Amino acid sequence: MIKTLLISGLLSVCVGSALAQAPSSNLKSETFKQRLRAQYLNNDTAQAIINLYGRRQAGGASWIFSSALVGARAATASNSTTVNNAYVVQDNSSNGAAAALVLVPFAAYGLGKMLHYSNGNLEKTLTAYASGQPLARSTRRKLKRRFFNQPIIQYKSVDYKPAK
């Protein structure tokens, strides 16, 4: 039993290290944002909008991820009894359904941010802005100085040769 677990663990480590060294392909959203950054390279407002949407997408993902982690912790908590000399300590876990009920609004908030600041909405906003329409009041209000202060770096693809 132990030998099987050790061999499977060693095999998974070898496969994981091989996958880590393999050249990775860019995600669809990464290439989308790179294309938009190149398209609006000289427009600081468009770059700030891309920065805003990127930050809000990451914020939504962190809300969902942290809610899932806390929910998993609450779901896996179990009752335990510890006997120490003459004392008995019983640790009761919280109710999993109650924890899920509390965590659902936080995950829904993150999902709402992900949907509202999706790449599709980003493209619609930038297309409307490029055609001369003014930005929506809510978007103008959210554009802070920090989104404009980020440096605009033109993306250049780098040729690489995979290691043998």
Cα–Cα distance for residue pair 120/123, rounded to 1 Å: 5
Q: Length of the chain, please?
A: 164
164 occurs within a structural domain: no
pLDDT tens, residue by residue, 109-120: 999 999 999 999
Which domain range does residue 106 map to?
28-148
Residue 108 has pLDDT above 70, yes or no: yes
Domain count, the chain: 1
1 occurs within a structural domain: no
Kindly state the percentage of the chain with pLDDT values over 70: 75
> Is residue 133 very low, low, confident or very high in pLDDT (cuts 50, 70, 90)?
very high
pLDDT given for residue 57 in this prediction: 93
155 occurs within a structural domain: no
Residue 66 has pLDDT above 80, yes or no: yes
Per-residue b or e along 2-19, where b marks 16 or more CB atoms closer than 10 Å to that residue's CB: eeeeeeeeeeeeeeeeee
6 occurs within a structural domain: no
pLDDT given for residue 43 in this prediction: 86
Q: Does residue 50 contact residue 33 with C-beta atoms inside 8 Å?
A: yes
Mean pLDDT, residues 17-41: 71
46 occurs within a structural domain: yes
pLDDT given for residue 74 in this prediction: 78
Nearest to 74 by CA among 46, 104, 96, 107: 96
Mean pLDDT, residues 74-98: 69
Q: Give CA angle at 50 (31, 124), nearest 5°.
A: 85
Helix (H) or strand (E) holding 91: strand 87-91
Quote the radius of gyration of the chain (alpha carbons, Å): 24
Cα–Cα distance for residue pair 67/50, rounded to 1 Å: 26
How buried is residue 66: exposed, middle or buried, by Cβ count under 10 Å (0-12/13-18/19+)?
Answer: middle
124 occurs within a structural domain: yes
> Is residue 28 very low, low, confident or very high in pLDDT (cuts 50, 70, 90)?
low
Instruction: Return the structure tokens found at 152.
Output: 């605009």
pLDDT given for residue 122 in this prediction: 94
Q: Does residue 63 contact residue 109 with C-beta atoms inside 8 Å?
A: yes
